[in-house]
Chains A and B, each alone.
Chain A
């Protein structure tokens, strides 16, 4: 038989003793076994101090064997990534893992921070609020923040792969203890689709390591049979080592799956989002400690945990143990330790007697029991040396005079088990304190959730099976009402608890309530003296329950102490709110794979691959990856943009505008519908014609612009800006479906069906006339603002002669899957005409030179068409349109509003910057701002557009432009800087 560590017992446990696992703890090489947790391996190796406490830097040892652990939160490095605050009680031992203690310097055994313990009298709860305020908190903030907190963030490259999964099921069972297994079995047998989720790597819950009988056989045999049946069931999914951390409305739960955290191909964390018709919570219970002086020393452990380490991991927490309890359950620890050959010095029971079967066990083993007594103090430093026991008076509030010191190196404590109602509470369930059971019970919930087993204070195995079975059956049968306090009838065993949790205080020695946050009973006394007597106030004043463990072993004791101090029953105090997450969940897991390139879906245009092959500098524009410019050789970005602008002005440019929104509107009322939507006249548009239009919202604010074409009297094609394509499609649907359902038409977005390749430049017509097809591109046959469709270079094409650049320009739409070939053909045929691919930046400079509006850049959430100089268009519009009424308001017609103008620097060589403010000097305030600005290669100077108060009346005025401390003088001009008469695009 192989043993790793001095505290490993000769036999027993559920380890693979043949396989050893090496690891280091604070630089010390240690060995454990496959099947160990980090905590069990540390205990087996006799490690008593694993960490230092948060505030007083007191030495702390392993306290529990589960999720509730307040002490053993360690830094664990696996494969080069060190993760802080890992619960050693849940972390399986991994070969080569490097483990270090947190919150200590230079070492966990000799920590300079211990000085805070020596001066603890200066550091009561909330001391920082009372002391760090002269001259103000910020004087101390930096130093305090450096000392505060636990652990440091990992700095290494996180190679963990994160995945998100969704799961739907009829019945979700959380927790695979006896009750959970019974529920899953019954629901499965009834034909339901069942998901069973267990935080441990093994199914069976506490029964796995308890010496109990289940339905007449050993627990292991019963569990094996249940697991085997569930594994064979076709509609059952079992997730192990998966922790359900959040419970939300509509029975949506979230869970962190660590089953592949140590996967040989790399660490994996999985985040599950579960939607369940019915939920059965079999989340068990968490044992609560007792409160007495110096109850935080290494060697003190929850009684159930001590049993777990012995029975599951073959580890003795000590060589001579004392058991302190106020209930029957802790006697199991005494019996198991005794039967494993470990000396039980005494059981200290706050009660006068235990249940009959317990008494028989005591007699059989000859264990010494000190009745009506409590542990009142301890001795030791890095290990436990002895405990003091005193008699308890009948009222439970005072001690006798016979204090006895009992030498021991382990103390098991228990003040009973408290149901794990966290998820139930998160679900919206009400909880209440039950004074007879001395624990917090689930009461009722508005969601379809049942809670069974120890989570409902059904602590006996028979009760757990009965309630689990009943809940599984009911949950599988649809729409059965969920009864209030569903498991009440199954509670047959109460552990005989006496609700004395705190030893009467005989000295000034501190009694810990919250081990992790170093909250003591004196802190609670102080809070009560200062009238923080509501549980939520108490929590925030003392920080009890606010640490990483969220008070899983401290909240109930804090309530008990508060109850003692105020004389109010616990049941009247209420509880603090349980919120997600039940246990810390990494942000990476929540994000799933949605990081880096997968953070937001980028869209690629149909000719994307051509752009990439030809030096395109891709940027994000409204969700699309588009070429900002195309670099040639060592060209700078600015040089490329200028070259592209000049190519369009002097020869020919080809630009991909495929993201442009395209919506077909068809039906006899199509024109009438669009007439109401657009600020412009639509009904007068003839087939084959195109018109520029503005869309306003109900407040008269410009939301989009673009052209619309009349394909036939009942068929229109609406173009929107690329970034607004989906929004405007939804906008049109809303008006049609909600406001004007009587209009007979059909809307059809076709944005990505068609790629848009735009030829711009004086040579555009020449190139198109060289292509085979049936569209007549002559100036006379195809004038500006016209639409044609037909065959072009062997493909179906829709062509609009419109211009965003001020040049002769054709927007050619071809089916998206033919775009790349068509682009390539245009580039090849256009080579002799000096064609160049044009990026979006040059495109925007070209439109800026022309003074064309770019909605979103040149407008904001206050800009109406009157501000933009479209007043005449509004006047000419016949009939109503969305936003018209708002434009009639005096405020919308004020000439003092910010109006659309052009700006050019007075001084040669000066540059305007978008975002710069136009300011008045006296008083100094903003009168507007530059909305777009760029260097115009055509004009050889900086130009800009802006929104300026009374702008239309200030043409030729010199204004002051302010940008980041710098000012320049600029002249207000009309927006069109280049070819204001439009001769080039109309030619």
Chain B
């Protein structure tokens, strides 16, 4: 089971766009339909993850990054914002299965029941998105892919995960 628990680059074609809204408008983000802190929101073909009070990550398996940026331009036409394509810089690992929370708890002491959070997982900055209790996406900087793969391989050897 353990070796099927993790897929390191699960969605190589997934479009990822990082959106940042000017500080003056960020307080009204919810008015624009953006999820609040530690939240994620899926609407149609786009999932928006909260990264901070003025930052979000838009991901989509169907729409291109250019399309997502265009949507932002349209949606936030009157708001100071900047949306950039980060698809090439961020990888997405999926962690799924009954032992997923236990495995993830080896990397960070956060509350993994949170819907969406930024943290350091195994000393690497990640954005964690919980789909449900045993299914997570971890967005991480591609430069850490080899290290994170090694780290997870080591962690998966812990017999505790197979109890």
Contacts and interface: CB of A to CB of B under 8 A. Distances in A.
B44 interface: no
27 contacts: A163-B154, A163-B160, A165-B106, A165-B160, A166-B105, A166-B106, A167-B105, A168-B109, A168-B111, A257-B160, A263-B159, A265-B159, A268-B160, A270-B158, A270-B160, A598-B122, A598-B151, A602-B146, A746-B80, A746-B81, A748-B18, A748-B20, A748-B82, A750-B84, A751-B89, A752-B142, A753-B89
Contacts of B87: 753, 815, 817
A737 interface: yes
A777 interface: no
Interface stretch (B21-29, B33-41, B56-64): B21-29
Contact of B160 (A168, A260, A265): A260
Contact of A601 (B23, B90, B147, B158): B147
Contacts of A604: 143-147
A268 B158 contact: yes
A603 interface: yes
B155 interface: yes
Given A746-B82, A751-B89, A164 B106 contact: yes
Contacts of B23: 737, 741
A605 B144 CA distance: 9
Given A166-B108, A748-B18, 7 more contacts: A163-B154, A593-B154, A601-B123, A744-B22, A746-B22, A752-B90, A817-B12
Nearest to A274: B109
B98 interface: no
B82 A816 contact: no
Nearest to A666: B82
Given A275-B109, A753-B88, A598 B147 contact: yes
A342 interface: no
A176 B60 CA distance: 49
Nearest to B124: A601
A391 B123 CA distance: 66
A-B pairs, top 9 by smallest CB distance, nearest first, are: A166-B109, A753-B89, A815-B88, A752-B89, A603-B143, A746-B82, A816-B88, A817-B88, A163-B158
Interface in B105-133: 105-106, 108-111, 122-124
Contacts of B102: 165
A752 B143 contact: yes
B150 interface: yes
Interface string B1-43: 0000000000010000010111110000000000000000000
Q: Is the interface of B mostly helix, strand, loop or mixed?
A: mixed
A64 B81 CA distance: 69
Nearest to A737: B23
Interface in A863-908: none
Nearest to A265: B159
Contacts, number: 122
A601 B144 contact: yes
A598 B159 contact: no
Contacts of B67: none
B86 interface: yes
What bracket does the count of chain A residues touching chain B fall in?
Answer: 35 or more
A434 interface: no
A157 interface: no
A751 B84 CA distance: 12
Contacts of B154: 161, 163, 593, 598
A664 interface: yes
A667 B106 contact: no
Nearest to A753: B89
B106 A818 contact: no
Interface string A577-604: 0000000000000000110011011111
Contacts of B147: 597-598, 601-604
A427 B106 CA distance: 24
A523 B143 CA distance: 61
Contacts of A164: 106
Contacts of A852: none
A539 to B, nearest CB: 34
B143 A753 contact: no
B22 A745 contact: yes
B80 A744 contact: yes
Interface string A814-838: 0111100000000000000000000
B22 A593 contact: no
B84 A260 contact: no
A782 interface: no
Given A270-B160, A746-B82, A748-B82, A163 B155 contact: yes
B143 A624 contact: yes
A747 B145 contact: no
A165 B82 contact: no
Given A161-B157, A163-B158, A270-B160, A750 B89 contact: yes
Interface in A252-290: 257, 260, 263, 265, 268, 270, 273, 275
A928 interface: no
A560 B154 CA distance: 51
Given A273-B109, A598-B147, A603-B143, A667 B84 contact: no
A606 interface: yes
Interface in A725-749: 737, 741, 744-748
A844 to B, nearest CB: 21
Contacts of A166: 105-106, 108-110
Interface string B74-92: 0000001110111111100
Contacts of B155: 163, 593
A166 B123 CA distance: 14
A664 B155 CA distance: 37
Contact of B86 (A275, A593, A746, A750): A750
Contacts of A666: 82
